[in-house]
């Protein structure tokens, strides 16, 4: 199997931009309205998981019927979309623009692999829609991370094998998905420390040459 690196695949929230705060404020508003205790700390468990799984984790074992679940997810998403109006290219995380440019410069293909159904809108607001050759989002596959499906779908679109691609992720579920699929991994932030092939505290710390020297053919 060829193993020279040919592509980078990026998670969105926590890697390209930080929409976690907007997700938090939207879930918090819903939780407050419904009388469910929900803290910033609780929100950490929602990082990188699907909207449905986020609702489940917010409910912490409370049971609601399907119609209510759908209505609550819709409401949360309306609150979230209102926050997205605040998003501009200035909200790219530090280091992202340079990393994408450097990768493009040396001929790597670029993909996005996000659990979010709003990924396209977020990229548009960041003026990054054209930066990616393939866009995998919350509509692309049925099984969310930690299933391998999304990253495999993106790799297929990029026409590379998993062994030829490096996944950048800030969430445990995302690193697990990538590893299960046979991708190389770069972990960003505290939640992925010790789980990925290469780890950096922030995207601004990432050095592409260093990453490439540690993975693939090295
Ligand atoms: P949506 P990522 C994830 O984005 C978020 O981290 C997670 O908090 C959110 O629940 C999920 O997207 C679904 O988002 O409600 O917009 O479809 O990290 O996979 O880019
Ligand atoms: Mg993420």
Same topology, domains 7-17+89-214 and 20-84? Answer is no
Residue nearest to atom 12 of ligand 1 (CA): 116
From the CB of 114, is ligand 1 less than 6 Å away? yes
Q: In the β-sheet with 184-188, what is the strand arrangement from edge to edge? A: 134-136, 109-113, 7-10, 165-169, 184-188, 198-200
* 137-180 confidence digits (pLDDT tens): 999 999 999 999 999 999 999 999 999 999 999 999 999 999 99
CATH of range 20-84; options 1.10.150.240, 3.40.630.30, 3.30.1490.190, 2.40.160.20? 1.10.150.240
Q: What is the dotted CATH code of the domain comprising 7-17+89-214?
A: 3.40.50.1000
Reported as a single tens digit per residue, the pLDDT across 67-100 is: 999 999 999 999 999 999 999 999 999 999 999 9
Considering every ligand atom, which ligand is closest to the CA of 191? 2
């Amino acid at each position: 199997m060829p193993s020279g690196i040919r592509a980078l695949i990026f998670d969105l929230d926590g890697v390209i931009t930080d929409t976690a705060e907007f997700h938090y404020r939207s879930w918090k508003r819903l939780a407050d309205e419904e009388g469910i205790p929900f803290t910033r700390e609780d929100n950490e468990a929602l990082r990188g998981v699907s909207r449905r799984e986020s609702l489940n984790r917010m409910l912490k074992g409370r049971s609601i019927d399907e119609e209510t679940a759908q209505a609550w997810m819709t409401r949360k998403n309306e609150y979230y979309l209102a926050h997205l109006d605040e998003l501009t290219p200035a909200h790219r995380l530090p280091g992202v623009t340079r990393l994408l440019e450097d990768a493009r410069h040396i001929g790597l293909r670029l993909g996005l692999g996000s659990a979010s159904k709003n990924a396209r809108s977020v990229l548009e607001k960041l003026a990054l829609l054209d930066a990616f050759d393939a866009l995998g989002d919350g509509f692309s596959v049925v099984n969310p991370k930690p299933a391998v499906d999304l990253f495999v779908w993106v790799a297929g679109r990029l026409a590379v094998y998993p062994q030829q691609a490096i996944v950048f992720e800030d969430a445990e579920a995302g690193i697990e998905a990538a590893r299960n699929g046979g991708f190389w991994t770069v972990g960003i932030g505290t939640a992925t420390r010790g789980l990925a092939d290469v780890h950096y505290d922030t995207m601004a710390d990432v050095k592409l040459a260093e990453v490439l020297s540690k993975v693939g053919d090295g």
